[in-house]
Structure 1
Amino acid sequence: MRSKKLLVIIPDGVGLRNFVYTKFPEEAKKAGWELLFLNMTHFDLKGRGHSEIKLDPKPSAWTDILKRAKILIELDLFKNKFDDPVYEKYKFPASNKGFKNKLKNFILSILIRRYNSESGLVKLRRKMKDAERKTGYYNTCLEILKRENPDVVFCTNQRPVNAISPITAAQDLGISTSCFIFSWDNLPKATKVLDPDYYFVWSEYMKNELLQYYPDIKSDQIKITGTPQFEIHNDRSVIINKKDFFDIHGLDKEKKYLCFSGDDITTSPHDEYFLKDVAEEVEKLNQKGHRLGIIFRRCPVDFSERYDKILKDHKGLIVPINPLWTGGEGYWSHAIPTKDDLHLQTNIIEYSFMVINVGSSMVFDYAAKGKPCAYLNYLPSVTNLEKDIREVYSYTHFKSMPDKNSVYWINKKSDISLIVENALKDPHAVVFNAQDWFFKINKTNSEMNASKHIVNQLDSLL
C-alpha cells in the first residue's frame, strides 16, 4: 500500500509563512504524509529540502473579471443582509485610465447588474470554473494531478485566482480538496474565491462567520485548527541572547524599547505623523527620567520614503529594524516573507515591552508573549487629511473583541506618554483581555501547535 500523498498549493508568500516556515512540513511527514508543494512563488523550496513542482500560473483574464464581480456582489449582499454600511468600505475603486480598464469596468457593471443575487452568485462561481477549464493552465494542473495522484489537495489561501484551476482540476478528478482561511479579517471582505470540499479555520468564531456569510457551506465541511502563524512565539530556540540582539541592531542596553509597527499606506496614509507623535511623547518621558527607545518595524510592503525625515530627526531615539521580506513592489500578493523574518519579529517582541500601531493584528503576536498593544485612534496634525483612520475600528472583524480594554486606546497625542507609563507599570489587565480576544479568534493550546491540528484534520479527510 502506497503512503498517503498531500499536494499543498503555495500561491503566495502567505502560504510560505504558514506552511513552509512553520512546523507543518515536519508534522505532516511525522503523520506519514508524502508532502509535495505546488509552488507558484519564485522562492526555491528544493533548496530547503522539500519536494516541489514549480508552476507559472496563467489563469484566464475573464476569470479575474468574474472574481471582481463576485466580490462586489457579495459585499452588496452582505450590506443588505446585515444592514451594515461598513461593507462598502471594503470596496476598492478600480482604475478607469485607458481603454482596457474602461472596457473592463463596463463589463463589470453589466455582470453586477445581471448576477446581483444569491442565485446569481452560484452562476458566477460556476462560470469562473468553466472559464478556467478552457485554459492551458487548467490542463497543466490536470496533467500534474494525474501524474502525482495525491490523496488530498490543500490550498494555503482562500483568495487567489491562481488556485482555482488546480482546485477545480482536483475536484474534476474526484480528489478531496481543502483550503485555509489565512487571516482573521478575510471573510467579511468577501475574499473567498475558492470553493473546495473543506475549509480550515482558526476558531469556532471563524467557523460561525463562514456559515453566516456562506450558508450553502455545511457545518461538517469546516475544520477548526487554529493558525500556524503564531507558533513561532512559543519556540524559545529562536530567541537570540539579549546582548547579541541589541548589538546586532544597535540598541542601547540601558534602554527599554517599545515597538512602533507601521501600517501600509492604504490603511494609514499618515503613519509617519503618528511615529513623530510617539517619538515626541517618548522624549518627554525621557526628560522625566525614563530610559526609553523606539524600535520601528515598517509594514513589509511599504517601500516609501515617508518615514525618512522622522527617522533622521529622532536618530538615536528611533531604531529602524526592517522586515526581512523580498519582492513586493507595494503589493501583498507579490511580497515574500523569509523564515528569518519570523525569527526577527519574535525577537523584536521578546525585547520590547509593548507595541503601538493602527489596528494591526500585531496585537495577537504581542498577546501570545503576554505583552500589551496600544491602538492609535485620533487624527494626526496634517494639512490635507487623506483618511480618518478611526474608521478602521468600525470594520467587522473588530466586533470579535470581547472587551474594549483588550488594547490601550490612544485617543489623542497627549495620551501616548500616560499609556506608555501604564504599560511599563501594570499592563496585566489589558494583556489578560487581549489574550481572551486571541483565544476567541484563534483556537490554541499550551503548545500552540496548529500545524499538528491541521495535519490531524487532513488525516480525517481520508
Structure 2
Amino acid sequence: MANKSIPKKRIFILLPDGVGIRNFAFTSFVKLGEELGWEVIFWNATPFDLASIGIKDIKLNPRPKAYSDLIKRAKIETELEHFENKFNDPVYSFYRFPSKSKNFKSLIKNSVIYALRKKHTGEEGLKVLRKKLKASERKSDYYKDCLKVLKKYKPDVVFCTNQRPLTAVSPLTAAQDLNIPTATFIFSWDNLPKATMVTAPDFYFVWSNFMKKELQYYYPFISAEKIKVTGTPQFEMHNDESSYQSRSSFFKHCDLDPLKKYILYSGDDVTTCPDDPQYLEDVAENVEKLNNNGYHLKIIFRRCPTDFSTRYVEILKKYENLITAIEPAWEKMGQNWNTVLPIAEDLPLLINTIKHCEMVINLGSSMVFDAALLNKPCLFINYDVSDKQSENWTHEKVYQFIHFRSMPQRSPVFWLNSRSDIGDKIKMVLNENTETVNAALKWFETINKVPADKASERIWASLTEITE
C-alpha cells in the first residue's frame, strides 16, 4: 500500500503594513518555506501586489476601531513613563511625541488618552490596557472578518512581520481566539525601548540573545520559552554573491564616473535628523578640498526611502558635479507614509551601492552593519551645525538612545566630531584603516545572530517547532 503524502502545513504571514515586505517577500524566505513543505500565504494589508512576484496572498482590509487607537497611544505613553520610573532613566522621555490639540476633535482624543493614562499606571495598569485593546478590537467588523478568513483557511500558524501596527491586533487576536498559534517578529534593533510592542502574540522572534534579554527586561511576563532567537532576514543577501554587480556594470547602470572613488552619504528622515542637508553640504565642501589636493572623489547620496521632502534640492543643485543621487527603489502606493513600500530591486541596489563605495557616512543608524558586512567602514556624524533647523534637536539626543548602549568599547565607526574633522577622517579611511570594520562586525554579532545568512532557516525551524 502506497504511503499517503504528508499534508502541507499552512502559514499566514501577516503584513499589517509594508515594513515586512523586504524581509519576508523579497528574500529567499518564501522559497525556503515551500521547499520545507509549507504552504505560504501572505495576509496582506498593503497595496503591494504580491501576485506580481509569484506569491500567494489574501487581501486584508484593516479597519481598527478609533477607540483602539486611543488605547494604543495611551499604552505607549504609559509604558514609556513606566520605563522611565522603573529604570530611573530620563532617556525614555526622548521617545515620547505628545500629540498637539490642533482642533476640537484632537482635543477630545487627547483628553481620552490622558484619562486612560491617569487611570491605568504601572505594570498593573499596562496589563489592563493590553486587555482593553484586545477587547476593543473584538467589537470591530474588522475582527469578525478576520475570524471568517481564519475559519475558512485554517492556517497552522499566523506569523506577523512587525510588532508595531494597530492593524495587527485584530488578526492575531482572532487567531488566538481560535487556538491558532501566533508569533510576531521584532522588526528593528531599536524598537523595544520605544514601547512599540502593540501586539501580544503567543511567541516572539528576535534578532539575538541580546534582544531576548532586552525583551524580558521590558516585558518580564514573557517567559524565555516564548522567545525564539533567529536573526533577521534583512542581512541575508549581503553575503550572496549572485546579488553583486561588477563595478563597471554598476557604474554604467548608475551613470557614475569609473575614474573616481565614491563616498556614500546615507540620509535620515526629517525627525531623526532635521539638519541632514547641512551635513551633506559639509561633507561636499570637504571632499572638494580633498580633490583640490589631488584626490579623485565623488559622493553618492541615498535619501531615506520615506523622505519625499525637497530639503536637499538646493544642495544637490549646488554640487551637481560632485554628488550623484541614487534614489531608493521604493514606491509611493498611497497617501500615508506607511504606504511608501520597497520594491524587489531596492536591496540589491543598496548592497551594490555600498559595495562599490569606499565608505558610508551618516548620523548613527543600522547602516553601520550593512557597511561592515560588505567590508566597508562607516563614519558617524557627531556634531551640531551652527544654523540648526530646530533648537530642540541635537545630535547628542540620537546617540543617547538605548540601542547605542550596545556599542562595544572599541569604536566600530569613525567619529566626525566637527565640520573640520571630515577631511582628515576620510583620508584615514582611504589609507585602508579597517580596524573599525572588525569592531563593527563584533557589534553586529551582539545585535544579530550569526551566521547572518541562516536567519530564514532558523525562523522556519522555530515555526515548525511551534506547530508541533
User: Are 1:390 and 2:396 an aligned pair?
Assistant: yes
Aligned AA (1:187) = L
CA shift for structure 1 position 404: 5.0
- Structure 2 Cα separation of the partners of residues 163 and 88 of structure 1: 26
Structure 2 CA distance for partners of 1:306 and 1:383, relative to 1, 3 Å: same
Equivalent residue, structure 2, for 1:82: 87
Q: Which runs of 5 or more structure 1 residues have no equivalent in the other structure? A: none
Equivalent residue, structure 1, for 2:418: 412
CA shift for structure 1 position 289: 0.6
SS at match of 1:406: coil
Q: Which runs of 5 or more structure 2 residues have no equivalent in the other structure? A: 1-5
Runs of at least 4 residues off by over 2 Å: 328-334, 383-386
Structure 2 CA distance for partners of 1:78 and 1:434, relative to 1, 3 Å: same
Equivalent residue, structure 2, for 1:204: 209
Equivalent residue, structure 2, for 1:27: 32
CA shift for structure 1 position 234: 1.1
SS at match of 1:382: coil
Equivalent residue, structure 2, for 1:298: 303
CA shift for structure 1 position 287: 0.9
- Structure 2 Cα separation of the partners of residues 393 and 322 of structure 1: 27
- Out of 64, 67, 79, the residue aligned to residue 72 of structure 2 is 67
User: Are 1:182 and 2:207 an aligned pair?
Assistant: no
CA shift for structure 1 position 165: 0.4
User: Are 1:425 and 2:431 an aligned pair?
Assistant: yes
Equivalent residue, structure 2, for 1:317: 322
Q: Where in structure 2 are the equivalents of 1:103-252 lying within 5 Å?
A: 103-252=108-257
CA shift for structure 1 position 2: 2.4
Aligned AA (1:270) = D
Aligned AA (1:59) = P
SS at match of 1:339: coil
Structure 2 CA distance for partners of 1:440 and 1:88, relative to 1, 3 Å: same
Cα deviation 1:157-176 (Å, max 9, x = unaligned): 00110010010000000011
Cα deviation 1:302-353 (Å, max 9, x = unaligned): 1111111111111111110011111177965222011111111011011001
- Structure 1 Cα separation of the partners of residues 296 and 374 of structure 2: 23
Q: Does the aligned pair in 2 maintain the 1:301–1:330 contact within 8 Å?
A: no
Shifted more, 332-341 versus 116-125: the winner is 332-341
Aligned AA (1:448) = D
Equivalent residues, number: 461
Q: Does the aligned pair in 2 maintain the 1:357–1:374 contact within 8 Å?
A: yes
Cα deviation 1:431-453 (Å, max 9, x = unaligned): 011000011000021x6121111
SS at match of 1:153: strand
- Structure 1 Cα separation of the partners of residues 300 and 333 of structure 2: 23
Shifted more, 422-431 versus 191-200: the winner is 422-431
Equivalent residue, structure 1, for 2:3: none
Equivalent residue, structure 1, for 2:294: 289
Structure 2 CA distance for partners of 1:109 and 1:239, relative to 1, 3 Å: same
Cα deviation 1:260-305 (Å, max 9, x = unaligned): 0000001110110000000000111111111111000001111111
Cα deviation 1:346-368 (Å, max 9, x = unaligned): 11011001111011111110011
Aligned AA (1:218) = S
Structure 2 CA distance for partners of 1:47 and 1:330, relative to 1, 3 Å: closer
- Structure 2 Cα separation of the partners of residues 229 and 330 of structure 1: 26
Q: Does the aligned pair in 1 maintain the 2:274–2:389 contact within 8 Å?
A: no
SS at match of 1:449: helix
Aligned AA (2:218) = Y
Equivalent residue, structure 2, for 1:441: 447
Q: Does the aligned pair in 2 maintain the 1:403–1:433 contact within 8 Å?
A: no
Structure 2 CA distance for partners of 1:383 and 1:235, relative to 1, 3 Å: closer
SS at match of 2:11: strand
C-alpha RMSD over aligned residues: 1.3
Q: Does the aligned pair in 2 maintain the 1:301–1:328 contact within 8 Å?
A: no
Structure 2 CA distance for partners of 1:405 and 1:329, relative to 1, 3 Å: farther
Shifted more, 187-196 versus 308-317: the winner is 308-317
Structure 2 CA distance for partners of 1:342 and 1:421, relative to 1, 3 Å: same
- Structure 1 Cα separation of the partners of residues 316 and 386 of structure 2: 18
SS at match of 1:326: strand
Aligned AA (1:430) = T
Shifted more, 213-222 versus 367-376: the winner is 367-376
Q: Does the aligned pair in 2 maintain the 1:303–1:329 contact within 8 Å?
A: no
- Out of 382, 401, 410, the residue aligned to residue 407 of structure 2 is 401
- Out of 41, 45, 69, the residue aligned to residue 40 of structure 1 is 45
CA shift for structure 1 position 254: 0.7
When normalised by structure 1's length, the TM-score is 0.98
- Structure 2 Cα separation of the partners of residues 357 and 149 of structure 1: 46
When normalised by structure 2's length, the TM-score is 0.96
